[in-house]
Amino acid sequence: MTLLEITGSLNVIGYGLGAIGPGIGVGWIFASVISGTARQPEARGAMLSTAWIGFAVVEALALIGVALAFAR
Amino acid sequence: MANPTMGLTLLEGAPSFGVEAFDSQPLFPSAQWQMCHPFEGEAPVECANLPAVWSDVWITNHILMAIIGAALAILFWLIVSHKPKVVPSKRQWAGEYLYNMLRNGIAREIIGEGYQKFVPWLVALFSFIIINNLFGSFFLVMFPTFSVIGFAWGLALLSWLLYNIVGIRQHGFFKYVKHMIVPGDVPGPLLILIIPLEFLSNFIIRPITLGLRLFANLFAGHLLIMIFVVGGSWLLLSSEQIPIYNIAGGLSLAISFGLFALELLVAYLQAYIFTVLTAQYVASAKAETH
């Protein structure tokens, strides 16, 4: 008797692996903004606007992974 | 339905759910549509050659949700800006607080000079997205509109058109394209590598990730809630044999409350990020230097 069956493709595991890199990257970006803000609070705005661009670029990899996870 | 291409199948008799659970249904299904999509247990009817009625393809329940969301956004801003006074009432204060956050915190901070033109679009974008996202945690609806990818593509396309048109009007077509794909201070041979990458990044990856980010966050969050609620309630109610399953079911139902709280955060965060990135792209298209 099977209690719980998970169907799907291996792509999803590949996506899980592919999300590691962007996860670390996004964490790193905002960690840098936080420590930068602690050192120089008035530069927060300038750092954040650069961080958003960097965030979008880094997260692009994870998002492309989401799209490819659905490819058959 | 028994074996979705991607999803979870519980023991026989339990509901199976997956990506197909997000299929949109027509608001006013015609007889043809109902024949082609029978209820579970009924035999499907041959329906390949039946013509689709316009109400089957056009007005779906998700389109109705988007329209209601837009109407609610308009209604909210009308209510909070009705009869403004010098000493604001609580209602006016709430509206001003939110508007200030969008106007000063996002538009002025990021776009800089000449930001006033873009404030209405950013405010509309933010309020439309957050209301539609909150539909995901709101009873009666329980479905975030943007977990249907078409809506996310629509908004991403509008933002893409906005920043490209702004850039073209600012610089002229050829100067704008050069501005976007040729960064300054790059030595000659490297340009062979940089130009295709910049083109890909600025004109293709940007709108794709803008739409996908919104879609993927809401879709994944909602699927997670569905797994915990449906799976948890099934374990709690339908599996009598082993007590530990009932305990696990109760536990996953309890966790689903935490996930709902997380979804509220995600709803706000995604609306904020979409607005910030739109402003950011407009700013980079408007900028004089790269």
Residue B9's H or E segment, with its range, is: strand B7-10
The order of strands in the sheet holding B7-10 is A4-7, B7-10, B17-18
Residues in chain B with CB shorter than 8 Å from the CB of A9 are 5-6
Q: Which whole number is the average pLDDT over B255-260? A: 92
Instruction: Provide the pLDDT confidence category of residue B21 given band limits of 50, 70 and 90.
Output: low
Is A23 within a domain? Answer: yes
Is A32 within a domain? Answer: yes
The Cα A52–Cα A58 span in angstroms is 10
Q: What is the pLDDT of residue B100?
A: 93
Instruction: Provide the pLDDT confidence category of residue B274 given band limits of 50, 70 and 90.
Output: very high
3-state secondary structure of B3: coil
Query: Is B215 in contact with B147 (CB distance < 8 Å)?
Result: yes
Residue B205 distance to chain A (closest CA, Å): 7
Q: Which whole number is the average pLDDT over B230-246? A: 79
Instruction: Name the residue range of residue A50's domain.
Output: 11-69
Write the pLDDT tens digit of every residue in B70-117.
999 999 999 998 888 888 888 999 999 999 999 998 999 888 888 999
3-state secondary structure of B242: coil
CATH of residue A30: 1.20.20.10
Residue A7 distance to chain B (closest CA, Å): 6
Q: What is the pLDDT of residue B3?
A: 43
Instruction: Provide the pLDDT confidence category of residue B231 given band limits of 50, 70 and 90.
Output: confident
Is A6 within a domain? Answer: no
The Cα B5–Cα B19 span in angstroms is 8
Per the structure, how many domains does chain A have? 1
Q: Which whole number is the average pLDDT over B262-287? A: 92
Is A3 within a domain? Answer: no
**pLDDT value at B23 more than 70:** no
In this complex, the residue of A7, A53, A59 whose CB is nearest that of residue B7 is A7
Q: What is the pLDDT of residue B51?
A: 65
Residues in chain B with CB shorter than 8 Å from the CB of A6 are 8-9
Q: What is the pLDDT of residue B11?
A: 55
What's the whole-model pTM score?
0.85
Q: Which residues contact B83 (CB under 8 A, 6 or more apart)?
A: none
**pLDDT value at B166 more than 90:** yes
Q: What is the pLDDT of residue B2?
A: 41
Instruction: Provide the pLDDT confidence category of residue A40 given band limits of 50, 70 and 90.
Output: very high
Sign of CA dihedral B45, B49, B55, B56: positive
Residues in chain A with CB shorter than 8 Å from the CB of B8 are 4-7
Please count the residues of chain A: 72
Helix A11-18 / helix A44-69 crossing angle, nearest 10 deg: 160
The two tokens of residue A23 are 């996860």
Write the pLDDT tens digit of every residue in B129-154.
999 999 988 888 888 999 888 899 99
Check CB contact of A56 with chain B, cutoff 8 Å. Answer: yes
Q: What is the pLDDT of residue B128?
A: 96
Q: What is the pLDDT of residue B44?
A: 61
3-state secondary structure of B270: helix
Is A5 within a domain? Answer: no
Strand partners, A7: B7
Check CB contact of B262 with chain A, cutoff 8 Å. Answer: no
Q: Which whole number is the average pLDDT over B183-193? A: 82
Tally Cβ neighbours within 10 Å of residue B117.
Answer: 11
Is A41 within a domain? Answer: yes
Q: Which residues contact B127 (CB under 8 A, 6 or more apart)?
A: B73, B76, B77
